Amino acid sequence: MSKTPDILIVGAGPAGTSAALYAARNGRSTLVLDKGFTHSAMGKMERVIDYPGVGDKPSGEALIKRMRWQAKDAGADFRDVEVSGTAFGTSARMIMGQDRKGEQKFQGKTIILASGGGIAMAGSLLPGETELRGKGVSYSVERDSYLYRKAPVAVFGKTMGACEAALALARNAERVEFIIPSNRLDVPESMKEKIKAAGVIHLLFSASLKAIEGSEHVTAAVVVSGGQEKALPIRAIFLYQIDHQVSANFLDGALERGDHGNILVDEHLTTSAPGVFACGDLLTGIPQIPVIAVAQGVMAALSADRYLQEAEGRR
């Protein structure tokens, strides 16, 4: 590989490894920097159950290893580096980071940022929340509601998103416990009417969620409502009282961001700095689905390739 790779990628989760695969397949010298694959949100998933074409339900770790292997096989290089800073000039684009030998500088003709996001309960993590992720604790009704048809479930939150989640669950769930950390819902009357009309949504106002219980799977949500603590028997809880988080402290004001710290991009996934692209959970600050991150990684690689072709006078 030449000293300055055509495409320098930060993050080896599903978005970054897919970008690396397509970048390398296009004959571009490609270097991926990552602080360690186990940090990938997908690497922590116990089972990946809804990835098209992968029906054997591999662990997230196994699937991300396969993705990395495939990108390496196509010619991409990977290095263990924790990125700590950037300098995006008009021609030179630089990434600073730390590896086992200390501070290093990396240049890329183009950069793809794919360092993902995280999730944090507004406030702090609940007892049971981390242990039961993927075992009934979910942050996405779109992704996981089908697993809990005809089961008692709960939603925690007070936003329009939480109301929409409760309504969506009500279509198939046996009962929806709607745990609301407020004495009212500040949403349009029409939404309140839909919630009432759904028939299976049980509203618990001024309620606090104390813990999520279960060992192999969620069995109950411990709530305090009306001064009384009770354990609501449920199979799943959907948490909508969360803070957005992106893994992008290293950017330090270098790029335009959205309200949640998410990186703003155009339809080609170009950021506010020319030649710098972004993909995956970094674009939202809330968990998406690995297959969406993968698709965005591919799009970012194709956009970076197009940018290089223009710079080379081939387009």
Ligand X SMILES: Cc1cc2nc3c(=O)[nH]c(=O)nc-3n(C[C@H](O)[C@H](O)[C@H](O)COP(=O)(O)OP(=O)(O)OC[C@H]3O[C@@H](n4cnc5c(N)ncnc54)[C@H](O)[C@@H]3O)c2cc1C
> Applying CB under 6 A, which residues contact ligand X?
10-16, 33-37, 39-42, 45, 82-83, 114-116, 118-119, 133-134, 143, 247, 250, 280-281, 287-290, 293
To ligand X, the closest distance from the beta carbon of 227 in angstroms equals 32
Nearer to ligand X, 153 or 185 (CB): 153
Q: Which residues pair with 96 in a beta bridge?
A: 85, 105
To ligand X, the closest distance from the beta carbon of 311 in angstroms equals 26
Strand-strand pairing, 152-156 and 175-179: parallel
Nearer to ligand X, 140 or 208 (CB): 140
Count of H helices and E strands in the chain?
A: 6, 18
CB 30 within 8 A of CB 23: yes
Q: Which residues contact 91 (CB under 8 A, 6 or more apart)?
A: none
To ligand X, the closest distance from the beta carbon of 208 in angstroms equals 22
CB 211 within 8 A of CB 229: no
To ligand X, the closest distance from the beta carbon of 197 in angstroms equals 31
CB 77 within 8 A of CB 31: yes
Nearer to ligand X, 181 or 290 (CB): 290
Nearer to ligand X, 142 or 229 (CB): 142
Strand-strand pairing, 77-80 and 30-34: parallel
Cα(237)–Cα(6) distance, integer angstroms: 44
In the chain, the DSSP E strands lie at 7-10, 30-34, 77-80, 82-88, 93-99, 102-108, 110-113, 120-121, 137-138, 152-156, 175-179, 201-204, 208-214, 218-225, 228-233, 236-239, 242-243, 276-278
To ligand X, the closest distance from the beta carbon of 97 in angstroms equals 6
Nearer to ligand X, 279 or 308 (CB): 279
To ligand X, the closest distance from the beta carbon of 214 in angstroms equals 15
Number of neighbouring beta carbons within 10 Å of residue 231: 13
Nearer to ligand X, 8 or 234 (CB): 8
To ligand X, the closest distance from the beta carbon of 66 in angstroms equals 14
Nearer to ligand X, 245 or 270 (CB): 245
